[in-house]
């Protein structure tokens, strides 16, 4: 187990034939048996590995009702101070989610899971709206029966509050992380609104700025092509490792990792430019992967290659807007040869 569970509970939000929502509250926490441990461990791993998460904090968006937006955070404060039990706190959250869902026509309810657990010395509150999925099971007498189970693989509406960071740095803009919807931030608006969460850190922008700073840094030092690529790969490997461990990119630690004798300080370089980098921010591997690979799609053509091939196996001519590839991949060459032979 990579997590230590404190408490967990599930409430159900249902919709009747008239479309009215109601919240069926569980009167006590889930027993921390093996089923709960396995479920939360799986959800923790799935959530941590989700790419492209957004980050935010408790706040009031423009034009919103401040009192309504504070309801979840106020209840959380009461729970953290001991004035409210976990069951009562989660019950308030269930009612808040029910009220928020009632504003929309698309909702059919689901199971609200709330869990407090510790991982890597940080305490988290995990909040997710899970759906049930139908499946077929073979009984002992070889008869088929249909049952429902929680769809843990399709985790779309979930957020995690870093309670340790919230307590240590209440002014932080990133102690809440959330899964972005498939169509972008707006898909999960109602889920974040019920918690009173507003987006605070644009992870993609921070990672794009870091990538630009690295490119300018290697260009400004007298490095060979191989040395420049080595720095890029060190940056990517460092950030990937931090991301896999659920940690933020620490700019000072990254600078120590890539700055060698005879080179300028990357930390000083990044802070003297117009990169607007925070000292710590979450990693976005999809953005940083551009340090190692070039890729693009458009007009029916997709192309991807390792960065160290540029100028050698892959020759780019910006004037003629063409790319020459030396040494066509064997499987692609076979397809091309077959097509030419057929024509």
Query: What pLDDT was estimated at residue 89?
Result: 96
Query: In angstroms, rounded to a whole number, what is the distance separating the alpha carbons of residues 12 and 110?
Result: 6
Which one, of 204, 259, 210, lies nearest residue 231 by Cα?
Answer: 259
Query: What pLDDT was estimated at residue 184?
Result: 47
- Which residues in the chain land under pLDDT 50? 183-185, 187
Summarize pLDDT for 242-270 with one digit per residue, the tens: 888 878 899 999 998 887 755 678 898 99
Query: In angstroms, rounded to a whole number, what is the distance separating the alpha carbons of residues 198 and 202?
Result: 11
pTM here is 0.76
Are 136 and 28 a contacting pair, CB within 8 Å? Answer: no
Query: In angstroms, rounded to a whole number, what is the distance separating the alpha carbons of residues 242 and 143?
Result: 49
Are 196 and 73 a contacting pair, CB within 8 Å? Answer: yes
Which residues lie below 8 Å from residue 68, measured CB to CB, with a gap of 6+?
196
Are 140 and 152 a contacting pair, CB within 8 Å? Answer: no
Which residues lie below 8 Å from residue 141, measured CB to CB, with a gap of 6+?
none
Query: What pLDDT was estimated at residue 62?
Result: 61
* Interstrand relation of 249-250 and 158-162 (parallel, antiparallel or unpaired): unpaired
Q: SS3 string of the chain?
A: CCCEEEEEEEEEEEECCCCCEEEECCCCCCCCCHHHHHHHHHHHHHHHHCCCCEEEEECCCCCCCHHHHHHHHHHHHHHHHCCCCHHHHHHHHHHHHHHHHCCCCCCCCEEEEEEEEEECCEEEEEEEEECEEEEEEECCCCCEEEEEEECCCCCCCEEEEEHHHHHHCCCCCCCEEECCECCEHHHHHHHHHHHCEEEEECHHHHHHHHHHHHHHHHHHCCCCHHHHHHHHHHHHHHHHHHHHCCCCEEHHHHHHHHCCCCCCCHHHHHHHCCCCCCCEECCCHHHHHHHCEEEEEECCEEEEEEHHHECCCEEEECCCCEEEECCCCHHHHHHHHHHHHHC
328 backbone dihedrals φ, ψ, rounded to 5°: -65, 135
65 backbone dihedrals φ, ψ, rounded to 5°: -80, 115
Cβ neighbours around 8 below 10 Å, total: 21
310 backbone dihedrals φ, ψ, rounded to 5°: -65, 125
Query: What pLDDT was estimated at residue 150?
Result: 83
Cβ neighbours around 2 below 10 Å, total: 11
Query: What pLDDT was estimated at residue 27?
Result: 93
Query: In angstroms, rounded to a whole number, what is the distance separating the alpha carbons of residues 188 and 177?
Result: 12
Residue 233 is encoded by which pair of tokens? 């790969």
Summarize pLDDT for 56-99 with one digit per residue, the tens: 999 876 655 555 578 999 999 999 999 999 999 999 999 999 98
Query: What pLDDT was estimated at residue 141?
Result: 79
């Amino acid at each position: 187990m990579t997590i230590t569970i404190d408490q967990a509970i599930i409430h159900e939000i249902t919709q009747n034939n008239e479309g009215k929502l109601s919240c069926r509250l569980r009167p006590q926490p889930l027993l921390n048996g093996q089923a709960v441990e396995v479920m939360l461990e799986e959800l923790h791993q799935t959530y941590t590995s989700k790419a492209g998460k957004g980050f935010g904090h408790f706040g009031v968006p423009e034009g919103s009702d401040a009192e309504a937006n504070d309801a979840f955070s106020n209840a959380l404060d009461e729970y953290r101070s001991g004035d409210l039990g976990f069951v009562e706190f989660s019950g308030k959250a269930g009612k808040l989610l029910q009220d928020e869902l009632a504003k929309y026509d698309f909702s059919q309810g689901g199971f609200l899971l709330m869990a407090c657990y510790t991982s890597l010395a940080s305490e988290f509150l995990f909040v997710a709206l899970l759906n049930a999925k139908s499946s077929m099971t073979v009984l002992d007498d070889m008869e088929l029966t249909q049952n429902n189970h929680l769809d843990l693989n399709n985790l779309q509406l979930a957020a995690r509050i870093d309670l340790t960071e919230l307590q240590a740095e209440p002014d932080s803009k990133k102690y809440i992380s959330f899964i972005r919807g498939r169509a972008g931030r707006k898909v999960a608006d109602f889920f974040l609104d019920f918690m009173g969460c507003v987006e605070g850190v644009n992870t993609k922008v921070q990672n794009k700025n870091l990538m630009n700073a690295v490119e300018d840094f290697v260009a400004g030092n007298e490095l060979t092509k191989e040395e420049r690529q080595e720095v890029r790969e060190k940056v990517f490997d460092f950030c990937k490792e931090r991301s896999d461990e659920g940690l933020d990119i620490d700019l000072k630690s990254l600078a120590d990792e890539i700055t060698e004798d005879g080179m300028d300080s990357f930390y000083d370089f990044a802070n003297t430019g117009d990169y607007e980098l925070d000292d710590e921010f979450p990693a976005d591997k999809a953005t940083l992967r551009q340090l190692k690979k070039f890729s693009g799609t458009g007009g029916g053509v997709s192309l991807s290659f390792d960065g160290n091939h540029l100028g050698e196996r892959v020759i780019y001519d910006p004037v003629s807007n063409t790319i020459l590839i030396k040494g066509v991949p064997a499987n692609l060459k076979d397809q091309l040869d077959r097509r030419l032979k057929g024509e």
